[in-house]
Chain A
Amino acid sequence: EVQLLESGGGLVQPGGSLRVSCAASGFTFSSYAMSWVRQAPGKGLEWVSAISSSGGGAYYAESVKGRFTISRDNSKNTLYLQMNSLRAEDTAVYYCARGGGSSPLDYWGPGTLVTVSS
Chain B
Amino acid sequence: EIVLTQSPATLSLSPGERATLSCRASQSVGIYLAWYQQKPGQAPRLLIYDASNRATGIPARFSGSGSGTDFTLTISSLEPEDFAVYYCQQRSNWPITFGQGTRLEIK
Contacts and interface: CB of A to CB of B under 8 A. Distances in A.
B34 A105 contact: yes
A88 to B, nearest CB: 21
B106 interface: no
Interface SS of B by simple majority: loop
Interface residues of A, number: 25
B96 A50 contact: yes
Contacts of A107: 46
Contacts of B34: 104-105
Interface residues of B, number: 24
Given A44-B100, A44-B101, A59 B94 contact: yes
Contact of A108 (B44, B91, B97): B44
26 contacts: A37-B44, A44-B98, A44-B99, A44-B100, A45-B89, A45-B98, A45-B101, A46-B98, A47-B89, A50-B96, A59-B96, A62-B95, A95-B43, A101-B94, A101-B96, A102-B91, A105-B34, A105-B36, A105-B44, A106-B49, A106-B56, A107-B46, A108-B44, A108-B46, A109-B43, A111-B43
Interface of B: 1, 34, 36, 38, 42-46, 49-50, 55-56, 87, 89, 91, 94-101
